Homo-oligomer: A and B are copies of this chain.
């Protein structure tokens, strides 16, 4: 996992359809989309996944589903992002198969150590900073925590939580392989320009 990673939040899209925000971000060159619909009913969640699928497939960008292996399976998504209280990683891998992209959130050092022996595709280092988007999190890792995980972990690291164009460079320099954003794209006045700005910033360091 490398590049700009968009986590969706329909409620933060300023009334615009999620498909249009995602299509803008895809045009701008993002690397991955995670559909996160914490408050959606099952069928709405599934329908959002089915609506995003062709946009992402045609661009060769993976669609990951937050939490729900059943939605990922039913929508034919490329994988899931799991929190520590979601389906255990091994069960998700068994159900989704070896080709699926499976990421796992790490919120404590114990999580990081436990993940070392798993063949997860990436760790979601969460949260880097305090963020209003997600309030049920552990204390933030900060840049130092991210750097410590980088020094220890064998996994690709997706940093998330309070990230935007202003701090993306520092995040990548601290060791993130991927910068995940929610409102920095979803709530941007111009999602394409905001995503393009992040992608350019990321590319400048490669």
Contacts and interface: CB of A to CB of B under 8 A. Distances in A.
Interface of A: 41-43, 46, 67-70, 73-74, 85-88, 91-92, 95
A86 B46 CA distance: 10
20 contacts: A41-B85, A42-B67, A42-B86, A42-B87, A43-B85, A43-B88, A46-B87, A46-B91, A68-B70, A69-B70, A70-B70, A70-B73, A70-B87, A70-B95, A73-B73, A73-B95, A74-B87, A74-B88, A74-B91, A74-B92
Contacts of A73: 69-70, 73, 95
A54 to B, nearest CB: 17
Given A41-B85, A68-B70, A70-B95, 5 more contacts: A42-B67, A42-B87, A46-B88, A74-B88, A74-B95
A116 to B, nearest CB: 21
A70 B72 CA distance: 10
